[in-house]
Amino acid sequence: MTSVIVGATARPYRSDTMIEYRIHGRGGQGSVAAAYLLASAAFEAGHTCQAFPSFGAERRGAPVTAFVRIDNQPIHLRSQVRTPDFLIVQDDTLLLDRGITDGLKPGGAMIVNSRRSDEDVAEAFSCRTKCIPATELALDYIGRPIPNTALLAAFLTMTGHLPVDALAAALKGRFKGAVLEKNLALVDAVAGMVPAGAWKESEDA
Amino acid sequence: MREALEGSQAIARAVALCEPDVVAAYPITPQTHIVENLSKLVADGELHTEFVSVESEFSAASVVLGAAASGARAYTASSSQGVLLMAEVLFNIAGMRIPLVMTVANRAVSAPLNIWNDHADSMAVRDSGWIQLHCENNQEAVDTTIQAFRISQETDLPVMVCMDGFVLTHTMEVIDIPTIAQVRKWLPPFEFKRALDPSDPKSLGALVGPDFFPEVRHSHHAAVTKALPVIEKTDRSWARAFKRGCGGLLTTEGPKDAKIGIIAMGSTVGTLRSGLAKTEDAGVRLIKLRAFRPLPEEALREATRGLDHLIVIDRAISPGLGGILGTEIKAVLYGTPDAPRIHNHAIGLGGRDIPETIVGDLLSAIEDPDATPFSVFDADLTMLPPEDR
């Protein structure tokens, strides 16, 4: 589909390389910020990206969903992510809704902010699951209960999808001074806590 | 420079690059981050403009009217209910042929209360006499915003840059923001020949009785129509300078011998393109309409030539009539030999998510003997009581 009749913008647009994410959290936890950070990190690593919230009437504590697409070519699709490759869950009480993994692609995985064990959480779901006590880590390192930096650091370390450096670069675009330093220290700490590349396989699949 | 930016932030940056003398806005709900970001650029000393925080959207439109009438480059942004509250002034701005630029972050209009994306707001002021340009993505929104200032001052008409609320305004993507030097080189300084000047007094918006009113309307219609080549020329000039265009009046993609076409405006085009790419041998011509006012009739007839079927996507409806774009396309093609059969569907009203799989459903509906000439395509009628179906 390349010929052009009037005006002219013919572009290739079939994509088999797109990776889609869905982020679940609660209002005030920085879920939209997490989506923007992940997209910024993808951009820093040389990819195209798209991140957007699920456009609800947001209020503190209410479930919030955000979406990210990462590709190596222009992203035309604008609909909500229905079949994510990965889930990032910022609050483990959201797991009470069993539908949270709806649409997750076969071979997909879920990273959860939780003090529970991986096995405990995975039992109720049929996907690979990793739990990180991201709120506690955020309190320790940043002094605020915002789990997104820790979750993204863990996620990128495990998937190897983007270099963790790209997340650091994205954080540098968003924060300055002491807040930035604390976030970067948190990224380093988390990167040492999870098995690097453990989810890389599905990434290449 | 290419950056990962949220749409609203990118638009604020684009507006700042055009160095407006006056920005006036009132952040009614629902709003975008556009004026918030402009306000921040002013506070940070990065943008030197008269930023007027007004008490309502009516006043925001009035301030930019007055500012532009006095010879200032002026900008405002609004959405949904805010556009409706501006409506009276929007007609005045256009009627006085005041060149200024406004972003409409397209959203549904109440009631019922809904803050999500569709085109009901800009459609409600369709007949105000503004130029209305629609953008598929945030790059086009940035580029069209800068182009709009040039189109506006070249035509002495106000330009409304329509971008899908939330879907574009709240989406982060990779956007190339031109440098101030590039924009200064491309965009001439603001000049308004009819600007109010105490040394040469004149009136704008004076009473015009029946003895001259039809002539005023005729010339306004002619002026908006004459903007067609200016819109095309401006985009060509932009493409030469920045190595990318926004698609002039409209663009078409797909096989030359396609028998089925789909036409849409705004971000929906991207989702349709993505869906078509996954539809084997779809053989569909995708038409992206950028200029809704003026409506490029010649280009539309050319773009639809050879088609047997044309699916017209509306993102707003006129209750009691049906699709707005659909009805206009029918009017454009009326009397054209071998004009395609029109299948007019509204989708995504009030932010209903538009999946790429809708392409297959739209194509199947062509052959559906029960399909009506117009439908709210993604409405689930089983949710309604039988008498409302």
A58 located within any domain: yes
For residue B206, say if its preceding peptide bond is cis, omega within 30 degrees of 0: no
Query: How many alpha carbons fall within 13 Å on the CB side of residue B264?
Result: 28
CA distance A114 to A136: 9
pLDDT in tens, B149-205: 999 999 999 999 999 999 999 999 999 999 999 999 999 999 999 999 999 999 999
A11 located within any domain: no
Count of the separate structural domains present in chain A: 1
CA distance B209 to B218: 14
Give the pLDDT confidence score for residue A57 in this predicted structure: 64
Question: CA nearest A46 in B: which residue?
Answer: B174
Residues 146-175 of A with CB under 8 A from B: 170, 173
- Is-same-fold flag (B2-242; B250-388)? yes
CATH label of the domain that carries residue A63 = 3.40.920.10
Interface check A57 vs B, CB under 8 A = yes
Residues with Cβ within 8 Å of B75's Cβ and at least 6 positions away in sequence, in order, are B15, B18, B20, B22, B23, B64, B100, B101, B102, B103
Backbone angles phi, psi at B349, to 5 degrees: -70, 140
One-character DSSP codes across A108-161: -EEEEE-SS-HHHHHTTSSSEEEEE-HHHHHHHHTSS---HHHHHHHHHHHH-S
Q: Which of B3, B113, B170, B106 is nearest to A66 (CA)?
A: B170
Which candidate from B3, B251, B273 shows the least CB-CB separation from A6?
B251
pLDDT in tens, A139-151: 999 999 999 999 9
Domain edges within chain B = 2-242, 250-388
CA distance A123 to A107: 16
Whether A76 and B273 lie within 8 Å, measured CB to CB: yes
Interface check A177 vs B, CB under 8 A = no
Model ipTM? 0.94
- Domain ranges, residue A122: 19-204
CATH of B250-388, one of 3.30.413.10, 3.40.50.920, 3.40.50.2000, 2.40.10.120: 3.40.50.920
Domain over B2-242 is classified CATH 3.60.70.12: no
A51 located within any domain: yes
pLDDT-based confidence at B282, cuts 50/70/90? confident
pLDDT-based confidence at B26, cuts 50/70/90? confident
